[in-house]
Structure 1
Amino acid sequence: MKLGKMRFGWLVFSIAAAGVLLYTQVKAQQPSFDCHDIDAGSIEAMICQDPALAVLDNQLAEVYRQAALKATNEHPPVLKAEQRGWIKGRNECWKAAEPQACVTSEYQLRIAALQATYRLIPLTATVTYLCDDQPGSEVIATFFPTNPPTLIAERGDSVALMYQQESGSGARYAGRNESLWEHQGEATIRWGYGAPELKCRRTL
């Protein structure tokens, strides 16, 4: 009788453990936002139905939480405004030829941007480039091992975030209106929309 009770107890425990594991797995596949009462066919609905996108959403939620802790004294407070703008842009992916790939890319770029901007991961290197042999014309680039790799470049009072691009040789990065391409210690930098290229070199 005792043996039967033990087996029954073990069976109940096993079923309960399996239920907890299943609940944990299902919960882990849910995004950070509530999937109830969302519009069918929307980008949010796609994220709720795609485990891989749900994982990315949770990753972004955690990275955003870390960034918010560092942005408490930010003036002006740009983090929340930028996040609202990013969500609006992400939801425009329904117009893309491949919406799922578009949403995936949006998440990856946003996570990388927050990690670099708020220094949430250790930097890889900091490099100073002297441009056109003018002592006052310098670009300081700080590199981060994000996915995709990023850099934050500073020139005077201006700051630019750039993402690594595919390149046949050297390392090429591009941002909104700026770009940096380095090959064997020499760099070509464009700073601003329509601006001429700067010929730069690494300083020792």
Structure 2
Amino acid sequence: MNKATAGSTIATLLVLTATQPLHAAEGPSFDCSKAQADSIEQMICDDSSLAALDLQLVEIYSAAQKEAVNEQPPMLKAEQRGWLSGRNECWKEEDKNACVSNAYRLRIAELQARYRLADMTGVLTYACDNNPANELVVTHFATTPPTLIADYGDSTSLMYQQTSNEGSQYRGRNESIAFNQDEAVVVWGYEATPMHCKSVN
């Protein structure tokens, strides 16, 4: 290779290097230099998988903000602040990493379902306790973990799929649904009497 060719090759490499993005390891969405030692934020800064979950949540949260722009009352920001406080409470847990990871995954799935940022995988209607007017509508979403939003009367509950050997089960704050083929046992409210519901789809 002559000097002219070598010079041209080096110049080309310099141009390509200047124009291609640098693939440096990405940290979380917040400034790690401000994280306190031994804090949950510092743990996230030191763990690439947790940092990736943080970036994913920021992306999903930004998309949710666009969907919630006309939401009344505006709850999203307040809920996110509450979630951050809850995430930081993971310092009390024996397995802090698992606690933080689970907090991120559940929050991401919640936002994807509530603001329809994930694909719907089915909408089913159930008549409960042999009364067609006693209607339960269940919308399933392709999130991780799987979620559903159940509408019953004037109230709504978001539920996450639970690990179970007894069929498909979902649990929310005070509600739960256990599915068995075209039937479901529904508990709607704290210590409420279970309802037996049958699909009408």
Look up the equivalent residue of 2:11 and give its one-letter code. G
Deviations 1:77-117 (A, max 9, x none): 11011100000000111111111111111110000000000
SS of equivalent to 2:66: helix
- Counterparts in 2 of 1:41-120, with a 5 A limit? 41-120=38-117
Select between 73-82 and 134-143 the one with higher mean Cα deviation. Answer: 134-143
In structure 2, stretches of 5+ residues that fail to align are none
Runs of 4 or more consecutive aligned structure 1 residues displaced over 4 Å after TM superposition: 10-14
2:170 to 150, 173, 179: 173
Q: Can you give the 5+ residue segments of structure 1 that lack an aligned partner in the other structure?
A: none
Kindly state the Cα deviation for residue 9 of structure 1 after the two structures are TM-superposed.
Answer: 3.2
Counterpart residue type for residue 197 of structure 1? P
Q: Which amino acid aligns with 2:162?
A: Q
For residues 69 and 164 of structure 2, what CA distance do their matches in structure 1 show?
A: 38
Where do 1:141-180 residues align within 5 Å? 141-180=138-177
SS in 2 for 1:124: strand
Paired residue for 1:122? 119
TM-score, structure 1 length as denominator? 0.91
SS at match of 1:82: helix
Q: TM-score, normalised by structure 2?
A: 0.93
Whole-Å separation in 1 of the counterparts to 2:12 and 2:132: 76
Aligned counterparts of 2:143 and 2:9: Cα–Cα separation in 1: 50
Pick closer, same or farther for the CA change 1:4–1:47 going to 2, 3 Å: same
Q: Distance in 2 between matches of 1:114 and 1:11?
A: 44
Higher mean Cα deviation, 106-115 or 36-45?
Answer: 36-45
